Structure 1
Amino acid sequence: MVLASVVSMIFRVAEIAFAAIVAGLTGKYLHATEGTSAWDNGRFIYTEVVAGLSILLALIWLFPFSSSFIHWPADFLMSIMWFVSFGLMVSWLNGSCGYVFNWSGISLDGTATCSEWKANVAFAFLSAICWLVSALIGIWWVRRHTTPVDTTGTYRRRRWYRSRV
């Protein structure tokens, strides 16, 4: 029980951190292209919205209550949204910075835009993986804490009080 809560909290903190990094890098690009059409920046606006939702939901569900595990469908949906964001950014790069997962030649001098984009893509992917693992932990927790009532397959929640016997 405690292990699942601790692991869930670790993934929630990672989700917040990864979403904040993606929001910062994408926001920097959106600020630089302020006068362009919203249609041209649609994929980046979508990424900012997904990052904002991720930060909000991960903050709300960070606390280790059992109710945070029953939100696994929302975790799975957020994972799908992050994978879509990842795909949109990879298709936007379109090989202009080389292969997306080729990390050679990355520098920290502040002028390497390809490095920023590759970091943005990588943290979007890591965020998608974290949300997917959170969903899997939630599915495991819910399946473990429900028991069949009868042979028809209906389920009920276990009661968590101590027996007086």
Structure 2
Amino acid sequence: MILADIFSMILRLAELAFAAIVAGLTGKYLHATEGTSAWDNGRFIYTEVVAGLSILLAIIWLFPFSGSFIHWPADFIISVMWFVAFGLMVNWLNGACGYVFDWNGVALSGRGQTCGEWKADIAFAFLSAICWLVSALLGIYWVRRHTAPAHAPATGTYHRRRWYRSRV
């Protein structure tokens, strides 16, 4: 299962990079709106907390140990949190920069810079949610593959019967 370990490391690196990008872009906005009430910036504070938690967990779980696959429930919860952050930011943008995934007219500098930053923030939040979800699915696959059911014999010679084969 070396491929699963390598794929898990690639996912963790992507999760780390995407969370760092979202933390940077959202932090830049929070710094610009420093005097505003926390209630008005609640969705951005939530996104920043999710990004910080994702950075921490991605660093901790980056190393390829078989125990890193048993964290799939936490991966799934973080994925849901990222999808919520994605939805909150899309709702806040409310079409002000056009369709969320329409990248036409977005420039690196000049007039479209603000829309480009928001669309990048939203896109990387979505990509992070997808990576965490795939990481959870990989964890479910690994755990299911490496654990025997409770009714397995104690001899250690248990082979899982395929769902399409009958006992007859």
TM-score (norm. length: structure 1): 0.90
Structure 1: distance between partners of 2:86 and 2:42: 14
Q: Which amino acid aligns with 1:42?
A: G
Which residue of 1 is the match for residue 10 of structure 2?
10
**SS of residue matched to 2:148:** strand
Alignment length (residue pairs): 155
Structure 2: distance between partners of 1:30 and 1:110: 21
Deviations 1:90-140 (CA, angstroms, capped at 9, x unpaired): 000001111101110011116610000000000000000000000000000
Q: 1:36 to 1:149 in 2, by over 3 A?
A: closer
Q: Which runs of 4+ in 1 moved over 6 A?
A: none
Deviations 1:70-99 (CA, angstroms, capped at 9, x unpaired): 000000000000000000000000011111
Structure 1: distance between partners of 2:133 and 2:107: 30
Q: Indicate whether 1:41 and 2:70 are aligned.
A: no
Structure 1: distance between partners of 2:150 and 2:120: 49
Structure 1: distance between partners of 2:143 and 2:94: 41
1:51-90 equivalences under 5 Å are 51-90=51-90
Identity over the aligned pairs, expressed in percent? 78
**SS of residue matched to 1:147:** coil
Q: Which runs of 5+ in 1 are unaligned?
A: 159-165
Q: Which runs of 5+ in 2 are unaligned?
A: 157-168
Which residue of 2 is the match for residue 95 of structure 1?
95
Which residue of 1 is the match for residue 164 of structure 2?
none
TM-score (norm. length: structure 2): 0.88
Deviation of 1:148 after TM superposition, in Å, equals 2.3
Q: 1:30 to 1:62 in 2, by over 3 A?
A: same
